[in-house]
Amino acid sequence: MGERNFSTLFDRSFSSVDETIDAIADRYMTINCACFTPNNERLGDIKSMIEKLHAHGLIHYALQFCTPYMVEAYRVRQAINGGRFPFLGIETDYSMEDMGQLKTRIEAFVEMIKEGPHS
């Protein structure tokens, strides 16, 4: 999720290193991640973000060979409006080789949203 790295920040005013380390560990354990399956809270958070941000579509990014995210894509698609909400599933790695293909797919997705009933 786009905001998951910023949505659960912690207070930095601890008096000891141990308290700070505990707070950091607790914060990392509260991040919604597809690897914590089943994770209905994550699906709820995605729906909430769609409503809060008035999103017109969802791009689900999965790192290639990250099976939990790839499997989760189906559940996410079904959870958001029974699969009727504009959804683009992307599976890629960190290389630049597929940059052109990704650009084309994302541009087509945005165009579809602009022309569709969700705009």
Is the pLDDT at 70 greater than 90? The verdict is no
pTM for the model stands at 0.72
Q: What is the mean pLDDT of the chain?
A: 83
- Is residue 68 a contact partner of residue 34, using CB atoms and an 8 Å limit? yes
Q: Identify whether the C-beta of residue 77 lies closer than 8 Å to the C-beta of residue 89.
A: yes
* CB crowding 1-36: b at 16 or more within 10 Å, else e: eeeeeeeeeeeeeeeeeeeeeeeeeeeeeeebebee
Cα end-to-end span (Å), the chain: 22
More confident residue, 91 or 36: 91
| Better-scored residue on pLDDT, 81 or 118 | 81
CB 88 within 8 A of CB 109: yes
Q: What is the pLDDT of residues 15-62, one digit of tens each?
A: 888 888 888 888 777 777 776 666 788 888 888 889 999 999 999 888
Tokens representing 6 are 């910023």
Average of pLDDT values for 110-118? 86
Which of these, 89, 34, 102, lies nearest to 57 by C-alpha position?
89
Instruction: List the alpha helices (DSSP H) in the chain.
Output: 17-29, 40-52, 67-79, 99-115
